[in-house]
């Protein structure tokens, strides 16, 4: 039986497989962190540049280059390091929710320590990385049966997740499966909808998969790497851009000059001394200036990469058109266009998939505290104005900042 027949057979048997096999009281993990070894891209021939396909292996290889890594870290580090809170969801009253403070403390503690080895930031940095690189971010959710720690979370390689397009919404039927790289019955690990948080960036109707920002910039990144390599070889003199022309030289003189240059002059730093009837002429193939490095072309490619990541080119090192009056506006634009959508997407999935579907606690929601304004001073001034105008109360502002409400006497003072 071939690989295609094996995978097809496993998918056909998924409808009759209980995806929750195992000890539910321990929250054991079913998926594997690294199910396969992804080999990096190699050119077809030595010295020949070819455009590779945007496979997960090539996307992750490109994500390790300096410009792309800078763009990813700008979004990932900001989102993962923001202050966050778990609060009562809009439309619910804290007085009507049973054991509200105790349950909020449980959710907070479980989010801070999602499993035995990861912290909140370590876990979600992995998810955001996959989200920006390939548009697939995945987190496995497993119930533990412990009322003080009701769930465990693990980051999953989103590239190994397959989506069943025929899933009809049945919570007992598997919706996802992880490809383990093995053959036979262990080729796929089925997962129900309440066992996996699958985050898609740029969702589209014609495919169940998302579109990562690096996928959009893939061709521009490949061209930038090619131009950068060429400029590096040119700057290190490994690419010769001139030739020496000897007029009316015999073949013997020509060969003797080549041997003399290679044996006595090349790489030694000595001053070559030539004696001939006619002066040799140097023929240059380029201008011999910085224009040969194609720096403007590289700068344009950096701008295209920045556009794909929804960032201003200033944040990727292009500062030619930036001054003091526009820098703050560009930084705020980057925060609103690149950071805020990713943060809100993660918060919505945590609220819906983890709190509502997995635990059934629809009264609570997860949110980041720093999405409304980047400047703490300006945000505090706005909140103060709203309090004085009667639009917000002190306790509402404290809730926005993740602080406990004050007693009625303290508010009056």
Q: What is the pLDDT along the chain (413 residues), one digit of tens a residue?
A: 565 666 566 666 654 545 445 455 567 777 765 554 444 434 444 443 445 667 899 999 999 999 999 999 999 999 999 999 999 998 888 888 899 999 999 999 999 999 999 999 999 999 999 999 999 999 999 999 899 999 999 999 999 999 988 888 888 999 999 988 888 878 889 999 999 999 999 998 888 899 999 999 999 999 998 888 888 777 776 566 667 777 777 888 888 888 887 888 777 777 888 777 777 777 776 666 667 778 888 889 999 999 999 998 888 888 776 666 677 777 888 888 999 999 999 999 999 999 999 999 999 999 998 786 556 677 778 888 888 888 888 888 887 776 778 876 554 44
Nearest Cα to 126, choosing from 101, 161, 150, 154? 154
Helices 295-308 and 218-235: angle between axes, nearest 10 degrees: 150
The answer to whether 70 touches 62, Cβ cutoff 8 Å, is no
Q: What pLDDT, on a 0 to 100 scale, did the predictor assign at position 95?
A: 85
What are the strands of the beta sheet with 161-163, ordered from one edge?
161-163, 174-179, 188-192
Distance CA 153, CA 149 (A): 11
CA distance 252 to 207: 68
Q: Which residue has the tokens 């079913």?
A: 30
> Which SS3 state, helix, strand or coil, does residue 281 take?
strand
pLDDT at 314: 85
Global pTM reads 0.73
Q: Residue 52's pLDDT is what? A: 64
Are the C-beta atoms of 373 and 381 separated by less than 8 Å? no
Best CA proximity match to 225, nearest among 301, 291, 303: 301
Helix (H) or strand (E) holding 4: helix 3-13
Give me 360's structure tokens.
Answer: 């059934």
Tell me the two tokens of residue 108. 């907070």
CA atoms within 13 A on the CB side of 139: 27
Is residue 80 within 8 Å of residue 128, measured between CB atoms?
Answer: yes
Rounded to an integer, what is the distance from CA 172 to the centroid of its chain? Answer: 31
Beta-bridge partner residues of 189: 178
What is the number of alpha carbons within 13 Å of residue 146 lying toward its C-beta?
A: 12
Find all residues with CB under 8 Å of 173, minimum gap 6, and list them. Answer: 15, 167, 192
Contacts of 283 (CB under 8 A, 6+ apart): 242, 243, 244, 245
**CA-CA distances (angstroms) from residue 395 to 105, 182, 380?**
19, 55, 14
């Amino acid at each position: 039986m071939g690989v295609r027949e094996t995978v097809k057979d496993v998918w056909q048997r998924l409808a009759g497989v209980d995806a929750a096999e195992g000890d539910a009281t321990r929250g054991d993990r079913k998926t594997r962190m690294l199910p396969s070894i992804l080999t990096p891209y190699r050119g077809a021939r030595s010295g020949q540049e070819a455009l590779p396909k945007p496979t997960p292996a090539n996307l992750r290889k490109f994500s390790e280059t300096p410009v792309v890594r800078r763009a990813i870290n700008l979004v990932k580090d900001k989102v993962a390091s923001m202050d966050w809170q778990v609060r009562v969801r809009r439309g619910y009253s804290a007085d009507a929710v049973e054991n509200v403070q105790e349950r909020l403390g449980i959710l907070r503690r479980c989010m801070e320590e999602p499993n035995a080895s990861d912290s909140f930031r370590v876990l979600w940095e992995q998810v955001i990385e996959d989200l920006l690189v390939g548009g697939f971010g995945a987190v496995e959710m497993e119930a533990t049966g412990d009322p003080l720690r009701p769930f465990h979370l693990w980051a999953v390689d989103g590239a190994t997740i397959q989506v069943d397009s025929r899933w009809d919404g049945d919570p007992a039927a598997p919706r996802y499966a992880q490809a383990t790289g093995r053959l036979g019955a262990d080729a796929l690990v089925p997962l129900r909808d309440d066992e996996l948080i699958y985050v898609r960036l740029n969702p589209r109707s014609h495919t169940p998969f998302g579109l990562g920002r690096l996928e959009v910039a893939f061709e521009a990144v490949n061209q930038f790497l090619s131009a950068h390599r060429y400029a590096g070889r040119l700057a290190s003199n490994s690419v010769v851009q001139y030739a020496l022309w000897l007029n009316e030289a015999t073949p013997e003189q020509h060969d003797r000059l080549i041997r003399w240059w290679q044996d006595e002059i090349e790489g030694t730093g000595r001053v070559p001394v030539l004696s001939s009837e006619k002066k040799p002429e140097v023929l240059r193939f380029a201008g011999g200036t910085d224009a040969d490095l194609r720096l403007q072309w590289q700068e344009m490619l950096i701008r295209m990469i920045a556009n794909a990541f929804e960032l201003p080119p200033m944040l990727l090192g292009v500062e030619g058109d930036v001054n003091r009056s526009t820098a703050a506006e560009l930084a705020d634009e980057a925060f609103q266009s690149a950071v805020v959508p990713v943060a809100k997407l993660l918060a919505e999935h945590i609220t819906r998939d983890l709190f509502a579907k997995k635990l059934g606690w629809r009264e609570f929601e997860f949110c980041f505290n720093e999405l409304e304004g980047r400047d703490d001073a300006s945000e505090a001034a706005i909140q103060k104005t709203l309090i004085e105008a009667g639009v917000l109360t002190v306790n509402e502002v404290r809730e926005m900042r993740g602080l406990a409400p004050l007693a009625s006497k303290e508010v009056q003072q």
